[in-house]
Amino acid sequence: MLETTLGLEIIEVVEQAALASAKWMGKGDKNTADHVAVEAMRERMNNIHMRGRIVIGEGERDEAPMLYIGEQVGICNQPDAKNFCNPDELIEVDIAVDPCEGTNLVAYGQPGSMAVLAISEKGGLFAAPDFYMKKLAAPPAAKNHVDINKSATENLQILSECLDRAIEELVVVVMKRDRHKGLIEEIRSAGARVRLISDGDVSAALSCAFSGTNIHALMGIGAAPEGVISAAAMRCLGGHFQGQLIYDPATVQTGLIGESKEGNLERLKEMNIHDPDKVYNTHELASGDTVLFAACGITPGTLMEGVRLFHGGARTQSLVISTQSKTARFVDTVHLFDQPKTLQLR
C-alpha cells in the first residue's frame, strides 16, 4: 500500500527540496537553486524505508551526480541496508522527480515554480527519454473528448461544449517559444485567451484538473520527462493528458539532445520505443496500480503558495494526490528551524 507507507514521506521530500531552493529565490542563479533542491530531495529520499529507482531525474549518470536516471534511492538500497530493514520485504518503486520545476522562475522571483515527484510500483512510470513532447491537458469533463491529433480550433470547440462555456471564456496555457507562434495565433483566432508562461508546464497541466483556476487547457511542446510527471498527476485526478514524443530538432527550434532526427530515432529504438509517433495517454505514461504525486510550491502559483520564510522557520504548502484513496490533499506546514518565542503563521 504505497500511500499508507509513503504518503507522508513524499510530502517531506518535496518540502525539503522547496525549502532549499527558496533560499535562492530572486538571486539570479538558477543552477544553484536547482542544485540545492536536488541535494535536499536526495538526502530526504535516502532516509525512507523503500527500494526506489529514479526513472526520470536530472539526466544520465555521467551528466548528473545525483538523482540520475537509474539511481537507487532509499535506506533499503544503501550498502548497510540490512542494519535498517529487510530489503526483500519491500516492494520496488519507480520515481520520477523534478526537484526544482521552473529553475528560471526561482532565479528571477517569478510565480509557478515547485518541487515535484511521482511514484509508482516498479514499471509503473514511463521512462521517457530526455526529448521533447507535444502535450494536451484538459479538465476531467473533457477527458477522451479532446484529442491531440485534432487542431487547436477543434479542441477549443469540444472544450466549449464539455465545459458549457463560450470559447471566449476559455484560457489556454502555452509556453512562450518561437515554435508556438502558429499555435498561439490559432487559439486567439478561435476566440480563446492565451496565458503565456516562460517555464513550468507541470503546474499548468495540473491546474487544468482543478475548477476555479481559470485554466482550461495546456497546449504545445515541452520537455518529455515533465510530461510523464504531469500525466501521473492527471491520472490521479481523472483529467485528460496526452503526450507525443518529438524527436526532430527542427520542430522544437531550440535544440534537442542528439545531433539529428535520425540519431534520435535510433536512440528511441535502443530504449525499446518502436513507434516514435505514438500518442500516449495518462494510463500509458503512468500505468501502475497505484500512482502518487506530490508537489510543494517554491514560488507562489495558481494552486499553492510558495515558501514563506520567517525568523526561525518557514511555511510551505504542498499537494499530494493518490489513485489509491482518490484524494487530493493540500498540506500546510510550519517548519521550525530554531525555536521561536511564538508560532508565526503569517
CA distances from 148 to 204, 258, 261, 281 (A): 17, 25, 22, 10
pLDDT of residue 267: 86
pLDDT of residue 257: 67
Low-confidence ranges of the chain (pLDDT < 70): 1, 60-64, 81, 84, 87-89, 255-259, 339-346
CA separation for the pair 72, 80 (Å, rounded): 14
Grid cell 536530472 is found at 58
Strand, coil or helix: 171:
strand
Please name the helix (run of DSSP H) or strand (run of DSSP E) that holds residue 223, with its range, or none: strand 217-223
| Predicted TM-score of the model (pTM) | 0.91
CA distances from 164 to 88, 160, 297 (A): 52, 6, 31
| CB 297, CB 317: distance < 8 Å | yes
CA separation for the pair 85, 47 (Å, rounded): 12
Residue 124, CB half-sphere, CA atoms under 13 Å: how many?
23
Ramachandran area for residue 194 (φ above 0: left; ψ -120 to 50: alpha; else beta): beta
CA separation for the pair 6, 45 (Å, rounded): 10
Q: Which of 62, 63, 66, 65 is nearest to 46 (CA)?
A: 66
CA separation for the pair 242, 144 (Å, rounded): 10
Q: What DSSP assignment string belongs to 282-343?
A: HHHHB-SSSEEEEEEESS--SSS---EEETTEEEEEEEEEETTTTEEEEEEEEEESS--SS-
> What cell does 75 get?
535506506
pLDDT of residue 3: 72
pLDDT of residue 88: 67
CA separation for the pair 130, 223 (Å, rounded): 7
pLDDT of residue 7: 80
Ramachandran area for residue 191 (φ above 0: left; ψ -120 to 50: alpha; else beta): left
Residues 6+ apart with CB under 8 A from 130: 59, 60, 223, 224, 225, 257
Q: How far is residue 225 CA from its own chain's centroid?
A: 8
Q: Which of 105, 98, 93 is nearest to 26 (CA)?
A: 105
Q: What DSSP assignment string belongs to 242-259?
A: EEEEE--HHHHSS--SSS
pLDDT of residue 22: 97
Angle 205-207-211 from CA coordinates, rounded to 5° = 135
